[in-house]
Amino acid sequence: MFQTYCLSVTYLLRNNVFVLCLYPLILQFITIPDRITGGSFLASPSKMGGVFFSTGYTRGQCKMSDINHQDSSTKKLFKPVSSRVNFPAMETDIQSFWKTNDIFRKSEFTDSDRPLFVLYEGPPTANGSPGLHHVLARAFKDIMPRYKTMKGFKSIRKGGWDTHGLPVELEVEKELGISTKGEIEAYGVEAFNAKCRESVFRYVKDWEDLTDRIGFWVDMDNPYATLNNEYIETCWWLVKQFWEKNLVYRDYKVTPHCPRCVTSLSSHEVSLGYQEDTPDPSVYIKFKMAQEEDEPEASESAYTYLRELATQYPVYFLAWTTTPWTLPGNTGLAVSNDSTYSAVLVRTDSNEEIIVMASSLLKNVMDSDYQILNNFLGSELYDIRYEPLYNPEQYGIEIRSLKENQPANTQEFRPRIINASFVSMEDGTGIVHIAPAFGEVDLDIGSQEGLFFVQHVDSKGEILGNYEFAGKFVKDADKDITRDLDTRGLLHRNEIYKHTYPFCWRCDTPLLYYAKSSWYIRTTSLKDELLSGNQEINWYPDYIKNGRFGEWLRNNVDWAISRERYWGTPIPIWQCESCGEYTCIGTTDDIRQLSNTDDLPSDLHRPYIDNVILECQSCKKDMYRVPEVMDVWFDSGAMPFAQWHITSQEQLNDLISDGKFPASYICEAVDQTRGWFYSLHAISTLLTGGNSYENVICLGLIQDEKGAKMSKSKGNVIQPWEVINTHGADALRWYLFTAAPPGNNRRFSSQLVGETLRHFFLTLWNTYSFFITYANIDDFNPTLSKDVKITAEMDRWILSELNILIMQVTELLEEYNPTEAGRRIQEFVDTLSNWYVRRSRRRFWKSENDQDKISAYNTLYDCLVTVAKLMAPFAPFISESIYQNLVVSCDLNAPESVHLSDYPICNESLIDQDLSKAIRLAMQISSLGRSSRSKSGIKVRQPLARILVKLKDEEESSFLKLVSDQILDELNVKEIVEIHSEDKVLDFTLSINPAVAGSKYGSQLSEINNLISRLDQNQTALKAKAGFKIILDEYEIEPDELNLNYTDKDGYTSASDSGYLVAIDKELTGELKDEGIVREIIHRLQNMRRSAGFDIADHINTKYNTDERISKAISNFQSYIRQETLSDHIEISDPTTSEYFEEHNIDGVVLKIGIDLVK
């Protein structure tokens, strides 16, 4: 790391005293040589082309009489800014400023009549520390309210806490060392729920600290919490509204069930826990045809034929399943009515048997010789009986009749074949095993067909009865059941099958599909309204609307809202112990009326609410609350209403008329499309008939730098505080905003955030520091120089670019696209730094035109202030720091915070599109010119006679003339020559492209290449590039069928891109060489001054010894060398006697230089 210095020499006439003012500046960053003068300049960290500070020794006379300034002894207007910036420390200072001055509360504009912008904060659970994914969501939540506040809105952003549900219960179970509902009840529901209440706010301070540190402004002083009685009461009121609309019902259905948590899950909860490539058994089981005395309803031909075969061979119906544990519950086999089935004779070493299965799947299943004996339709197999694999009666398991919904006569238990439309011919055997206790379609078809119902598994997933595998968890029993069936000759084949399987989203236990009684909300009754409402929501990215979310709505099923748990919102339904009637209460007032008492529990949770007894309005007997609690997703989906404690239609109407419903904006990760996004949408639609949010940003996931999912087991989890303490919150936020579009996954590492800091924030900060340094030198005051007319081309150009930026960023944020908006700001800052400041730097050092210098100051000042405001919603800390120093310091009427100021408005009158095109052309040509120099190995310090430029569009010629001076200076050349054909500097060679034309011409390729070789290669190439066919005898060659290769002509080196070509003329005259040598010597001398430890203002005497050619060059440019290096004398003498001496190789010649300090 070098110490470099910046010198500004100004001559001030004060009391007839000639004053030399020197301003040293210690810079942190690596310097590079000035491309033109040989001086050093601070390079942009992102591109070695961006120059901010002169670190050479440039002198100039500055007449300050027209510049308003203070006496040098007075305090400077702007606080000095060091380039050695510590962003985390700066951010904590800004935090203190916000808190001391109550800026967040002021930003709420509570007393104004501004229109509302409402953010719904998806409530996190505070029983664990926040992670990076929470920072991602909270950053995106923060940006839009900040932006809308600056656009004149009053932003409402109420914080909240999700405090109920399995996540909380499971953590408490771990603490207590228990894992079953029986253990919870033994411990005591009251004590258990007290532990849950205590745990949910354990990490609140961690959440508040991180929320504060990342600059997420949300009202944490008055948050809603789902455990509060007021919140619970609103949830009850909502259920009551649905109850009165006949949307709440109890039913016996197969539901996704977690055996670990012993509770049902809703369909959207199930969607959160799918795991890919889950291994399960894949077994093909033989069900033996029963010998019936009574004729079944089956087709006489099929049944008679199979019964006849059964007198010679055992006859089996072959079915496939991946859940062997459900086989003891089998009561039917389903076939496809219109599909063909075969009876095949299978011979093995030990026996012969008949297998019946779908004809089209025989080849996939049969792994031994088989003979097709007969074919028949599936409809012909209907009602054929078969022997149960496990007779429930023998194992102590109840058999129930689905038709009569009561215990069945065990003598009547005879499983049979039925027809079903869902039977597939894509895999399996074409015969589906039906267990009504463990499948939704199984239960439906079983009810229709009057099958029997066998439940041999309890709610904990353990096998009941007296089977050999009784007492085992179902998944553990798979092997025992498979082994048993194999021993009995009923296993045809056994494999492993990998598929996607649902696991509990909280405890990671495999789910079971389990028939049970549950409470439901009839969301399917409003399916059309849910779908049409979704069309009115603005989704970002847009494909979520009709993709992931829309597909979920199209496949909507009724919402299973009851959970057989303890810590949650109690379901507000009571049942009469006598007549069985149900009643639903909506408020605590309802309870008072039905219980005839005002003595209600102070806590509405279990077990207290369970002790409240109501009077049945039908029979006057006691009513007791049903034991279940609500799905936690109902809690979170109720927040638009529950956060305001809505318990009446009048209050709801006021909420809507006040503009607090629906939300203007919500934001969460993509997994919430089937979680919070859905529960919000469903509850709102059922209650109001409308949407609960208007705009939603749906975020992708955070991955590690290699694209892998972050997990503790992989050791790739990054804690947010590590990144914030190293790089700062702004850099982290900026990376999250700009690294990828919102819906995409983001690769993350601390190093990637560090690159954001270097590429963007340090570039901006150094531009800002550059301005402050020189503005303080010249006592620039923006409030006293507003009337200076902007005439300089560079100023007009950058102000045009600035207003284009304002327009673009505003449009993008209105479209909820902070990613592209942030990228536009980043591009502008790079352009500001690497072109405007670098191209304008001498305007700040010298002042031949004082008005021009003030114009440069005004322009850069406007750019910095505007950028600070534009990026305030993105990076609230650095923008505040810049705003405080640039604006508040000199404008007593300015808003006290950038976040209280107005967002910039585009001044279209300042936009000059032609000028923007011209400067972009200059930048493009300069970039290609530097590439050409790099390819040829000629440094920028070496002047060249000319460059040759071919433009993409001839209309750009006028632009080229407009910016030619900039290009000449940038590339250190004497002349620009526009050419209209590449063959001026390139030689082409052509050949046929076999990859494109091989199939068309085949063996004729060699002949075509011979014909091509005889053509004028350059002229033919230009013709092909223009899109013309090449006629070769009978062949017509399309342009895309040719390979066009080129090389630089002798004396030139070129670079091309996007239709532009720039070539440098490498011929160096003696004068050009001498000038290049002199610039190189100046560069070496400046480095020697630094190495010798001389002060920035020290004058020196220079001695040298070299050959005649270099001596002549030094002599010819001696005045220039003295000016640039502060050398009073330059002479040929023995340099080894000097205070500091170095030996250099210049163009292959030894140059010995010594320097002495002038005393």
pLDDT digits (tens, 9 = 90+) for 892-907: 999 999 999 999 999 9
Phi then psi dihedrals of residue 393, to 5 deg: -60, -35
Give the pLDDT of residue 1046: 87
Give the pLDDT of residue 711: 64
Measured N-to-C along each axis, helices 850-870 and 793-814 cross at an angle, to the nearest 10 degrees, of 10
Can 672 be counted among the known catalytic residues? yes
Query: Could you tell me the pLDDT band of residue 846, with boundaries at 50, 70 and 90?
Result: low
Q: Alpha-carbon distance 269 to 630, whole Å?
A: 13
From 33, 45, 123, 570, active-site residue: 123
From 712, 786, 789, 1159, active-site residue: 712
Give the pLDDT of residue 54: 31
* Pairwise pLDDT comparison (404 vs 919), residue with the higher score: 919
Tokens of 462: 């353990």
CA angle 205, 210, 215 (to 5 degrees): 130
From 575, 643, 672, 826, active-site residue: 672
Tokens of 105: 């509360």
Query: Could you tell me the pLDDT band of residue 549, with boundaries at 50, 70 and 90?
Result: very high
Query: Could you tell me the pLDDT band of residue 847, with boundaries at 50, 70 and 90?
Result: low
- pLDDT tens for each residue of 460-498: 899 999 999 999 999 999 999 999 999 999 999 999 988
- pLDDT tens for each residue of 552-593: 999 998 999 999 999 999 999 999 999 999 999 999 999 999
Q: Alpha-carbon distance 679 to 521, whole Å?
A: 12
Query: Could you tell me the pLDDT band of residue 296, with boundaries at 50, 70 and 90?
Result: low
From 320, 505, 676, 845, active-site residue: 676
Between 313-317, 588-592, 723-727, 1029-1033, the lowest mean confidence (pLDDT) is in 1029-1033
Query: Could you tell me the pLDDT band of residue 1008, with boundaries at 50, 70 and 90?
Result: confident
Can 676 be counted among the known catalytic residues? yes
H-state helical runs in 1051-1128? 1070-1092, 1108-1116, 1118-1125
Backbone φ/ψ region at 1027: left (φ over 0), alpha (ψ -120 to 50), beta: left
Mean pLDDT taken over the chain: 88
- pLDDT tens for each residue of 11-65: 232 232 222 233 323 233 333 334 444 443 333 333 333 333 332 322 232 322 2
Can 1025 be counted among the known catalytic residues? no
Q: Is the pLDDT of residue 5 over 50?
A: no
Q: Is there a contact between 643 and 660 (Cβ–Cβ < 8 Å)?
A: no
Can 846 be counted among the known catalytic residues? no
Q: Alpha-carbon distance 558 to 65, whole Å?
A: 81
From 174, 245, 498, 709, active-site residue: 709
The candidate with the shortest Cα–Cα distance to 1026, out of 1038, 1015, 1011, 1014, is 1038
Q: Cα 1016 vs. chain centroid, distance in angstroms?
A: 54
From 236, 574, 633, 734, active-site residue: 633
Residue 311 burial (CB < 10 Å; 0-12/13-18/19+)? exposed
Of all residues in the chain, the percent with pLDDT exceeding 70 is: 92
DSSP assignment of 979-1044: ES-GGGTEEEEEEE-HHHHHHHHGGGHHHHHHHHHTS-HHHHHHHHHTT--EEETTEEE-GGGEEE
Q: Alpha-carbon distance 854 to 66, whole Å?
A: 9
For domain 10-87+749-908, the CATH architecture is Orthogonal Bundle (1.10)
* Pairwise pLDDT comparison (661 vs 460), residue with the higher score: 661
The candidate with the shortest Cα–Cα distance to 733, out of 211, 223, 220, 219, is 211
Can 123 be counted among the known catalytic residues? yes
Helices then strands, each counted (H, E), the chain = 39, 47
- pLDDT tens for each residue of 673-704: 988 999 999 999 999 999 999 999 999 988 88
Q: Is the pLDDT of residue 231 over 60?
A: yes
Query: Could you tell me the pLDDT band of residue 360, with boundaries at 50, 70 and 90?
Result: very high
CB atoms inside a 10 Å sphere around CB 433:
27
The candidate with the shortest Cα–Cα distance to 3, out of 730, 1149, 1091, 1067, is 1091
H-state helical runs in 9-81? none
Give the CA distances from residue 62 to residues 19, 775, 849, 1086, in Å, rounded to whole numbers and listed in that order. Answer: 12, 14, 9, 24
Q: Is the pTM of this model over 0.75?
A: yes
* Pairwise pLDDT comparison (53 vs 94), residue with the higher score: 94
Q: Alpha-carbon distance 366 to 1, whole Å?
A: 75
Of 288-302, 491-505, 824-838, 995-1009, which has the strongest mean pLDDT? 824-838
Give the pLDDT of residue 72: 41
Give the pLDDT of residue 260: 86
Query: Could you tell me the pLDDT band of residue 844, with boundaries at 50, 70 and 90?
Result: confident
Class of domain 281-393+415-435+468-497: alpha beta
Q: Alpha-carbon distance 658 to 667, whole Å?
A: 22
Q: Domain-by-domain residue ranges, the chain?
A: 10-87+749-908, 281-393+415-435+468-497, 572-627, 917-982, 986-1048, 1070-1157
CA atoms within 13 A on the CB side of 1080: 20
* Alpha-carbon torsion (240, 246, 251, 256), positive or negative: negative
From 162, 635, 862, 1065, active-site residue: 162
Q: Alpha-carbon distance 1039 to 347, whole Å?
A: 66
